[in-house]
Amino acid sequence: MTERSLNSEAQWLKGVGPKVAPLFAKLGLYTVGDVLYHLPRRYEDRTKIPPIKMIRPGQHVTIRGNLRSVSSRPISGGRVIVKAIVDDPTGTVALTWFNQPWIARKLDQYKGEVVAYGLAKEAEFGCEISAPEYELIEDEEDAADFARIIPVYPSTEGLVQKILRRAARAAVEGYLGYAVDPLPPSILKAEMLRPLRWSLREIHEPASDANRLEARKRLVFEEFFYLQVSLAMKRAETQQELGIAFPIQALKEGVLALRHSGIAESPNVETPKNRKAALVVKERRSSHLFEADQEAKREGIPIWDQIHKMLPFELTGAQRRVIEEIWSDMEQPHPMNRLVQGDVGSGKTAVAACTMLAAVRSGYQAALMAPTEILAEQHFATFGKLFEPLGIEVALLVGKQNSRERKKALQLTESGQAKIAIGTHAIIQEGVTFDRLGLAVVDEQHRFGVLQRAALRQKGLGNPDVLVMTATPIPRTLTMTLYGDLELSVIDELPPGRRSIKTHYKPGANRTTVYEGVRKLVEEGRQAYFVCPMVSESEKMQAQAATDLAYRLESGVFKDLRVGLLHGQMKSSEKEDVMNRFRRHELDILVSTTVIEVGVDVPNASVMVIEDANRFGLSQLHQLRGRVGRGDHQSYCILIADARNEDARERMDTMVETTDGFEIAEVDLRLRGPGELAGTAQSGNRDFKIADLVQDGKLLEVARQAALKLIEKDPTLVLPENQGILAKVQERRSQTAVITVS
Ligand code: ADP
Ligand code: MG
């Protein structure tokens, strides 16, 4: 006999054996430990088995009774329906299975009691339960399974619950003693969590619902906790790396001179502050320092005053706060890793511009990468207007440039003549070099993959600061898991004077009225977007749909108006041309696919009609709607949809009721689940085994706080009591490629 441990093979467990082992392997259960952590997906509370006459349609019920008869009846297509009649002293119920003939064979020979669990439905005579899970009560052990809360495990074909339950029980009885709690008593106490052994027992064999919930809480906490510890460690590591210390204080005072930094008075004492100062000195001694100095002196104006002159509006309080948060990162001699979240229209571009100004005034270059050409060009135009009056040159790098334009742009960034570069992913291609890239900004970062962000960072001087911005409001729970290694800033205020967007939801039959409304607004001088229905994932078909819609409108109802068309299959120059005409108000109506989803900013456009809106996800609708409501005019969003099911209805209602992106994201998360929501670029759902991001959001927050506290005290987990945690974190890291945004 080999020594017992959680690593013992699962096949030695009672009821498993070599015949069942392959089925266990299918579920990923190789060891006893695997079995212990194969947790029930739900429970049946058989302490409450109702008499059969009490069951009502629509309830999930457990029934127990005597099997009276079994029949199978062929139906079309060579299929069969198996029907079993079960009764108890109070009544009779039918159990039905569709196309599972072997059930009839199995039940045929059986006379005795059964229990079954499933959804009760109305039937011809009384109730029936279709496709129930069932068990035969053959011996005492089966009977022991009654009158308690029964775990139901995820299973696989050919593996019955009874075997899984037996194995779990054997693991709990025989091996729990070998389970070592990775969490030290201090954490259990602080977070009021149950010990591991207690929790594993109660999750498999709960004595009560309350116990089961407490056990689950402990295990969910643990799952979140290791991830959060891992993320916190990663953040702590980044904070150890050396990066650029931008002289923000000097910029604020309007002078960039060594005498203001007080470095001369810092002797060789190793304090964090001195180390930082020394880095500043090192930076400034570099070849370009002189230039930076000159630049700031020439300007000689405190940076906030420069910003005030640069922007055509006053920043909101939230924008100012976020800029300060970013600057304080930039000031640190470590690379910045910060995420700015701000709902559509909250003014992220201006925030980016201000932080980029600071980089430029410190003698560095700054780059902004946007996901589409339309957006890059729009930013290029905006930044040109802001920066050129200050004598700061801006370069554009997009894929469609001809070789002459490209060469010129490359020369500008390489020589450092252009202090600012705006581009699409063309900016991270080979051959693009920067003279001194100190700050890299990624706009609408959810559109990019991890590798693209890393590539942008690579272009920097040493370890540049990285700022990622996103308008996709994701629930805080997801932010904490997907971006837990980033610092977070939230722009939680919209610029003043914005009128809220009025959203209406209209069935397709009301299209004519909608068109009349649009016409009225156009006659008042406004512009409109029409978003064509989402017909498929294919860009080509999507483009076709937009073309059809545009044709329908311009040759029909809007014959006398100026209608333009925008879709992903058009040449860049065509796209640009259409966008420019729309911006200059040479078009009244722009028919588009979702290519206008991100970033596009035309304040005079005050109405958006979304065709077949129920085909879009909530966050996409929210993004689309964000294209209007950007000017002083009352704006409208009309969702044309025939919501056929609950989900669609709830989505439409949510859009009508709120414009708060975070609220919308919460609903989206609930309706679609985290995998969908996170989008493709983020590889989606973290494979939490037990935890549920929707349901366990609060616990995630608790786990995060606990992790931060732990890492603050013991950044690299060297304390003896934290060795269990360290092992778990390492195990996690080796199993899952941790998503990082660096
Ligand atoms: P987003 O956060 O969606 O990227 P933008 O940066 O495109 O938003 O800004 C949306 C609009 O609001 C732009 O027209 C911009 O000029 C304007 N804007 C930004 N900040 C302010 C402000 N503080 N006051 C007034 N208008 C602002
Ligand atoms: Mg934007």
State how far the alpha carbon of 58 is from the alpha carbons of 95, 98, 162, in Å: 15, 19, 27
Take residue 77 and report the two structure tokens written for it.
């297509």
Are the CB atoms for 416 and 436 separated by under 8 Å? yes
Residue 382 Cβ < 6 Å to ligand 1 = no
Distance CA 605, CA 589 (A): 9
pLDDT above 60 for 297: no
pLDDT at 192: 95
Token pair belonging to 647: 């989900």
Residue 741: pLDDT above 50?
A: no
Query: 615 alpha carbon to ligand 1 midpoint, in Å?
Result: 29
Query: How crowded is residue 111: how many other Cβ atoms within 10 Å of its Cβ?
Result: 8
* Contacts (Cβ under 8 Å, ≥6 apart) of 647: 671
346 lines ligand 1 (CB under 6 A): yes
DSSP code at position 9: B
8 A C-beta contact, residue 707 and residue 232: yes
Q: How far is the CA of 469 from the centre of ligand 2 (A)?
A: 8
Tokens of 265: 């008075």
Beta strands in 302-417 (DSSP E): 337-342, 365-369, 393-397
CATH 2.60.40.1120 fits 48-147, yes or no: no
Rounded Cα distance, 409 and 380, in Å:
13
Query: Measured from the CB, is residue 347 less than 6 Å from ligand 1?
Result: yes
- Quick check: 642 pLDDT over 80? yes
Q: How far apart are CA 166 and CA 160, in angstroms?
A: 10
CA distances from 303 to 309, 310, 359, 419, 733 (A): 10, 10, 11, 17, 43
Please state the domain extents for the chain: 1-42+157-179, 48-147, 248-331+347-470, 502-658
| 248-331+347-470 fold | Rossmann fold (3.40.50)
pLDDT, one tens digit per residue, over 625-635 is 989 988 888 99
Q: CA dist 571 to 95, 400, 541, 582, 586, Å?
A: 61, 9, 16, 17, 20
Out of 310, 313, 468, mutate this one to test ligand 1's pocket (max ligand atoms within 8 Å of CB): namely: 313
Q: Note the helical H segments in 185-208.
A: 185-191, 196-204
Contact 95, 134 (CB under 8 A): yes
Taking each helix axis as running N to C, give the angle between helix 289-299 and helix 272-285, from 0 to 180 degrees, rounded to the nearest 10: 90
Using one digit for the tens of pLDDT, what is the confidence trace for 353-367?
Answer: 999 999 999 999 999
Task: Give which of 226, 92, 87 is closest to 727, Cα–Cα.
Answer: 226
Residue 315: CB within 6 Å of ligand 1?
yes
Cα pseudo-dihedral 379, 384, 390, 392, rounded to 10: 90
Percent of the chain exceeding pLDDT 70 equals 89
pLDDT category at 702 given cuts 50, 70, 90 is very high
Cβ atoms of residues 491 and 341 within 8 Å: yes
Q: Does domain 1-42+157-179 have CATH number 3.30.70?
A: no
Contact (Cβ atoms closer than 8 angstroms) between residue 130 and residue 118? yes
| Average pLDDT of every residue of the chain | 85
Alpha carbon distance 328, 339 (integer Å)? 14
610 lines ligand 1 (CB under 6 A): no
Q: Is the CB of 349 under 6 A from ligand 1?
A: yes
Average pLDDT estimate for 425-430: 90
Ligand nearest to the CA of 626: 1
Q: What's the fold here for domain 502-658?
A: Rossmann fold (3.40.50)
If one residue of 315, 492, 601, 602 were mutated to test the ligand 1 pocket, choosing by the most ligand atoms within 8 A of its CB, it would be 601
**Residue 696: which of 420, 505, 380, 480 has the closest Cα?**
480
Non-local CB neighbours of 633 within 8 Å, separated by 6+ positions: 499, 526, 604, 606
Pick the closest to residue 662 from 464, 526, 488, 527 (CA basis). Answer: 488
H-only helix segments in 264-316: 272-285, 289-299, 303-310
Roughly what angle, to the nearest 10 degrees, separates helices 209-238 and 697-713? 50
SS (H, E, C) 393-413: EEEEECCCCCHHHHHHHHHHH
This prediction's pTM: 0.69
Instruction: State residue 226's pLDDT score.
Output: 93
pLDDT at 141: 66
| pLDDT above 90 as % of the chain | 49
Q: Which residues sit with Cβ closer than 5 angstroms to ligand 2, an ion?
A: 348, 599
Same-fold call for 1-42+157-179 versus 502-658: no
Residue 343 contacts residue 494 (beta carbons within 8 Å): yes
pLDDT digits (tens, 9 = 90+) for 454-491: 888 889 888 899 999 987 667 777 777 777 778 889 89
Q: How far is the CA of 360 from the centre of ligand 2 (A)?
A: 21
Cα gap 495→316, rounded to integer Å: 6
Mutation choice for ligand 1 from 630, 632, 633, 659, CB with most ligand atoms inside 8 A: 630
Kindly state if the Cβ of 675 falls inside 6 Å of ligand 1.
Answer: no
**542 and 535 Cβ atoms separated by less than 8 Å:** yes
At 184 the three-state DSSP class reads: coil
Strand partners, 367: 421, 440
Joined tokens for residue 36? 């212990």
Q: For residue 282, what are the contacts with CB-CB under 8 A and spacing of at least 6? A: none
* Ligand 1 pocket residue status of 600, Cβ below 6 Å: no
For 532-561, give the DSSP string.
PP---S-HHHHHHHHHHHHHHHHHTTTTTS
- Measured CA to CA, the distance from residue 151 to residue 165 in angstroms comes to 7
Q: Is the pLDDT of residue 284 over 60?
A: no
User: Is any atom of ligand 1 closer than 6 Å to the C-beta of 473?
Assistant: no
pLDDT of residue 725: 95
| Average confidence (pLDDT) over 511-515 | 93
At 365 the pLDDT is: 96
The residue nearest atom 15 of ligand 1, judged by CA position, is 347
Ligand 1 contact, 619 CB (< 6 A): no
CA of 276 to the centre of ligand 1 (A): 35
Which residues lie below 8 Å from residue 82, measured CB to CB, with a gap of 6+?
A: 70, 71, 72, 96, 97, 100, 101, 103, 104, 107
